[in-house]
Structure 1
Amino acid sequence: MQKELQEAYGFIFEEELLNEIESVGIFKEMGPNQKIMEIGDYVTGMPLLIHGAIKILREDNKGDELLLYFLERGDTCAMTLTCCMGQKKSEIRAVTESDCSLIMIPIGKMEEWTAKYKTWRAFVFESYHTRFSEMLETIDTIAFMNMDERIMRHLRDKAKINGNDVVQSTHQEIAYDLHTSRVVVSRILKKLEIDGMIALQRNSIKIFDL
């Protein structure tokens, strides 16, 4: 774990803090589509992502999901931080997008490190700022983009975080992420294929227009 931690966070945190993270953190490896955090659960730890990608989702009263943002290597979730600090139930669902390695930090260490380490405080504040900006972008896409633009943006984001122009995703999964219907997604994907922007494959989509 030490090598992976150093590579992902060595440029952010000082050696003493890295040693503490290694000492108290719980290292986990998870496959795709596994829940790290569920809505309504009390948050007992905060994830520091070492490898892979995590998607953060909200849910409406009907149980439909909306993708808020992705987390990548070197990231953490600001909404998790808020719940940890306030000892509140989680308001988000965190699901692995790909194979992931992460370190869960116990809730008790977060306030201690905020007072003890300047780099940790800066990391927390920067995480709040970044995630807030990403949520504003999500709101903008819903308010100002039509559905074909939203779908292309979503596909480009998934391609970027996975480092692959072939996105492994079904039409239904895209519909869940974007809070729309599979029929709408399938219709628009077919149009995008005709326009030469993507190629539809079995349970995957190749993106030409990155």
Structure 2
Amino acid sequence: MSETTKEHRDCLAKGFPFWNDLTPDEQDMLCRYTRPVHYAKGARVHSPLESCVGILLLRSGQLRAYLLSEDGRDVTLYRLFGGEVCILSASCVMDSVNIDLYIDAEEDTEAYCISAGVFRRLMQQNVHVRCYAYQMTAERFSDSMWTMQQVLFMSADRRLAIFLTDELAKTGGDEVRMTHDQMAKYMGSAREVVSRMLKYFAQEGWVRLFRGGVQVLDRKKLQQLARGE
């Protein structure tokens, strides 16, 4: 077994919980039809106009999934990071899924791409793969519904508090290193609204603003606001 093939197998075994439920032949097939891919920052990964990309297992970087209106406005539905799986980049394998989804690389991204046709075949012959695919699809739609609930029904200050606390949970620190434009894009809001809310948070002593980011000074207060208290 070559070093590259072994690396593929190790990553697939770690990335997919159904790996040990595959037969040796199914494991070999999955490896044979997996290839490394690279997406530069800003690259389009998937759109309704393009053919089915395949299942993506992210090794590093970040992807953003969003909806795009006819007048060019977009709403971020969710983001994916290293170690996570992008299944809706291969929505063609799910007969019941029909959504005009766009996926872009927010950072330089390295991933493994599994052939959509092979993944569909595995779904048909292995119940563990099929259950995994439906579970992941349900989780992504749950993320999307949560985002739409925030956009439609929550106040701007609560949405910002939720966003900041979520970002801190991902990094484990007390800083969110993003511009106001980036925050607004991920929140599905306007930059002016985000800037106004951040200024208010700073005046209250909850955050400190600096060029290119925000430092959270009162995490407890933001958590209370995020919970609607």
When normalised by structure 2's length, the TM-score is 0.76
- Cα distance in 1 for residues equivalent to 2:98 and 2:146: 25
| SS of aligned partner of 2:19 | coil
- Extract unaligned runs of 5+ from structure 1: none
Q: Which moves more between the two structures, 110-119 or 164-173? A: 164-173
- The equivalent residue for 2:210 is 201
Question: What displacement does 1:31 show?
Answer: 5.2
- Higher relative CO (CA 8 A, sep ≥ 6), structure 1 or 2? 1
Cα deviations by residue, 1:56-77 (Å, 9 ceiling, x for unpaired): 1111111111011122445434
The answer to whether the 8 A contact 1:55-1:69 is kept is: yes
Q: 1:114 to 1:203 in 2, by over 3 A?
A: same
- The equivalent residue for 1:49 is 58
* 1:87-98 mapped onto 2 (5 Å cutoff): 91-98=100-107
CA-based RMSD: 2.8
- Extract unaligned runs of 5+ from structure 2: 1-6, 224-229
Q: 1:138 to 1:31 in 2, by over 3 A?
A: same
| Identity, % of aligned positions | 21
* 1:9-20 mapped onto 2 (5 Å cutoff): 9=16, 11-14=17-20, 16=24, 17-20=26-29
Is 2:13 aligned against 1:6? Answer: yes
Q: 1:99 to 1:5 in 2, by over 3 A?
A: farther
Count of matched residue pairs: 208
Question: What displacement does 1:197 show?
Answer: 2.9
- Cα distance in 2 for residues equivalent to 1:47 and 1:76: 6
The one-letter code of the counterpart of 1:92 is L
When normalised by structure 1's length, the TM-score is 0.82
The answer to whether the 8 A contact 2:56-2:87 is kept is: no
- The equivalent residue for 1:158 is 167
Cα deviations by residue, 1:122-147 (Å, 9 ceiling, x for unpaired): 21011122112112211221233101
- The equivalent residue for 1:133 is 142
